[in-house]
Every structure is written in C-alpha cells, then in structure tokens.
Amino acid sequence: MKKILLSCAGGFSTSLLVNKMKDEAQKEGKDYQIKAVAADTIEDVVKKDKPDCILLGPQIQYMLGNLKPIDDKDNIPLEVIGMQDYGMMNGAAVLKQAENLM
C-alpha cells in the first residue's frame, strides 16, 4: 500500500483535503494510506511511517528547502500542493499530483 503524507502549519486544513483525496481514491478503486500532519512533526512521521511522497500546503512552502534533506536522504519525493488545487480542496487533482510524484 502506497503512503501519501500531507502537511500544513497545523495539519487541520490538509485534513479536509485528505478526506477528499480518500473519497476520490475509493471512487477509483485505489488503496492508499493518506494522512495529514502538522509541519513540525514531519521528520518524526517520515522516520516512523516511511511515506512514498510528501505534499506540503502552499502556506508552508517556505519549509521546502529545510525538508529537502529528508527528500535526498530518504529518497522521498517532496512537492508543494498547487495553490488553486489547495484552495479549492480539489482532492482529485492533489491525488493525481501525489501519484505523479510516486
């Protein structure tokens, strides 16, 4: 099972997006573990869960540079969610973004 990790400042807004992504994956018959966490817990979650990709909310894109070592060391694709898809809570588009990363 592929694991997708989303993160934002507190993990709350990405939790809404996670639900929409899960609904879309279920419609498409895909089995993913999708979860949202607060930005300050990413490193611990990566060590524990070993996600297949990490998507950041646009409001924490400034953290991308700090998280690149996780990407390089663990070989986990890391990207910022598109501002429009995030704002519209477009679960289908963000799921596709994660799939393209993996």
Closest CA to 81 of 53, 54, 56, 51: 56
List, in order, residues 6 or more apart from 36 with CB less than 8 Å away. Answer: 5, 6, 7, 8, 11, 14, 15, 17, 18
Residue 53 is a catalytic residue: no
Cα–Cα distance for residue pair 26/9, rounded to 1 Å: 27
Reading the block at residue 36, the tokens are: 């949202």
Residue 58 backbone dihedrals phi, psi, to 5 degrees? -55, -30
Q: Which of 6, 8, 46, 55 is catalytic?
A: 8
Residues serving a catalytic function are: 8
